[in-house]
Structure 1
Amino acid sequence: MVYQGQQANPQAQEFTRREARAHRILDAAAALILRWGYNKTTLDDIARQAGVAKATMYLHWKTREELFAALIRREKVVVAEDIKQRVSADPEGTTLSGLLKHSALALLQSPLLKAVIMRDMEVLGKLAHREQSNAAHLEKMEGFKLYFEFLREHGLVRTDLSLTKQIYMFSAIFTGFFLVAPLMSDEYALSDEEMAELMAETGKRILEPAHAASTAELQKISSIFLQYLDRSVEIAREQFQKEVEA
């Protein structure tokens, strides 16, 4: 008699094998792109680093661009989950200032997405521009629009500024801190924690109202934001699973 769990389903075993292989290929791509940059990293290099035949990679991704897009997508899932854990543990995590702080700390742990934010052409080449201008970026901005509309409706951000201006300012604060960091001398360099705290303080002073949000308001916005984040992660995971199933 075979007890439940004693012998894994062959189909499940095959999927696990394919998924592990896909992650191994992406791990190799990540290591090489950070070492040599996108433009200098070839599929032959990745296959050699991952210990697979080049033809094997085509089972998942047909082009180098598709492979790197999958790499960025996987990294976004990791960062989104990190942000979720951080904001869930902070009662004020989903306020504008809290989101700035925790998003910055999560992104600082991801060299690839940090390169995307900074449009680091040496690391990501033309892929950096693509990630900032494609449909995924527009979808993200639409998500922020809904988030800001909810905050405005509940008086959790200033309403004397237009929605368009607020989203622009939020993006400028977030991106600006990342862009200026490499330009600062050692005398003015900040730790990751200091930068994230200062970013949050800037957002709070510029975009949030003077009165503090109530506990009930914070709980409501946290629930809605985490639902949005969960859905975004789910969509990215589903796309990755389709590639793994190849």
Structure 2
Amino acid sequence: MSHPNRERADRILDAAGELLLRMGYRKVAIDDVARAVGIGKGTVYLHWRTKELVFQALMMRESADLTDELLAAIKADPAMILPHRMIPGSFLLTQRRPLVMAMLRGNAEMFGSLGDIALKKQQDELSRQFEHVLGGHGLIRADVPHISYALHATTLGFYVGDTLSDEFEGIPVEDKAAALAHLIRTAFEPPGEPDPVVVAEVAAELGSKLEELVSGFRDGIYAHDPTRAPG
């Protein structure tokens, strides 16, 4: 059931996101957000006690929405769980979300003191679980030294590469995703086709971990929901 307080919370987050991209984290004040929504500053504070919490909720909402898109893709095709499908798939989904791109690129001005939040810890833990499950089922190679680091560094290069040089600006984003898929497939996955039964098992196991992550995010977004106040 839709709740008016939830709807207002979402309007606050929508406005915060637009202002964030336009002005940068440090310049946005709660006053600006309240004005953009057409409410008083005190009403914003009913939902979140500080500016940091508003933007933390915004990040959680973006991450939850992105993960839901990924889950839908895995349900439609369990082979999406393979690294060479999932990593480029996430890359493409992320490119359509400017706020997530800003977060990933570690825009210090934009995210001020938000870098060290539980969100990051949860995602790091999820990466570890993914590698553990994929490795246990033989879907990633066992002979790559420091595979977590290598996978992370490879993937990150595709997100930040074009911020370091404009040399590759003209490459369409789908072509970049295809290059990333080829690299992951050849460098990190064993040769040959994986067993579809194993792929389906892994998709079910990792899909449920992603669902847990999303429900944690969704709870966290509205953790200070005024409807939850005692009374």
Q: What RMSD in Å do the two structures reach over aligned CA positions? A: 1.8
In structure 2, distance between residues paired with 1:87 and 1:196: 17
Alignment match, 2:28: 41
Q: State the number of aligned residues.
A: 227
**Per-residue deviation, residues 146-169 of structure 1 (Å, max 9, x unmatched):** 21111111111111135xx11111
Over residues 23-60 of structure 1, what are the superposed CA-to-partner deviations in whole Å (9 max), with x where a residue is unaligned?
Answer: 11111101111111111111111100011100001101
2:142: which partner in 1? Answer: 159
- The verdict on how the C-alpha distance between 1:109 and 1:93 changes in structure 2, with shifts beyond 3 A counting, is same
Matching of residue 79 in structure 1 with residue 66 in structure 2: yes
Determine the C-alpha separation between the residues in 1 that align with 2:122 and 2:13: 24
Unaligned stretches of 5+ residues in structure 1 = 1-11
Provide the C-alpha distance between the structure 2 equivalents of 1:172 and 1:238, rounded to a whole number of angstroms.
Answer: 31
- Pick the aligned partner of 1:176 from 151, 154, 157: 157
Q: Partner of 2:201 in structure 1?
A: 220
Q: Which segment drifts farther, 225-234 or 193-202? A: 193-202
Shift in alpha-carbon separation, 1:209–1:187, aligned structure 2, 3 A: closer
In 2, the alpha carbon distance for the partners of 1:138 and 1:31 equals 26
Contact 1:91–1:218 (Cα < 8 Å) also in 2: yes
Alignment partner, residue 11 of structure 2: 24
Determine if contact 1:108/1:114 at 8 Å carries over to the other structure: yes
Q: Larger relative contact order (C-alpha < 8 A, sep ≥ 6)? A: 2
Q: Which residue type is aligned with residue 68 of structure 1?
A: F
The CA deviation at 1:227 is 0.5
User: Counterpart of 2:170 in structure 1: which amino acid?
Assistant: A
Which is worse superposed, 56-65 or 142-151?
A: 142-151
**Equivalent residue for 2:112?**
126
CA distance in structure 1 between the partners assigned to 2:169 and 2:4 by the alignment? 48
Worse overlay, 221-230 or 82-91: 82-91
**Separation in 2 of the partners of 1:242 and 1:66?**
10
| CA distance in 1: counterparts of 2:125 and 2:111, whole angstroms | 26
Instruction: Write the distance in 2 (CA, Å) between the matches of 1:146 and 1:116.
Output: 22
Identical-pair percentage = 27
What is aligned with 1:136?
119
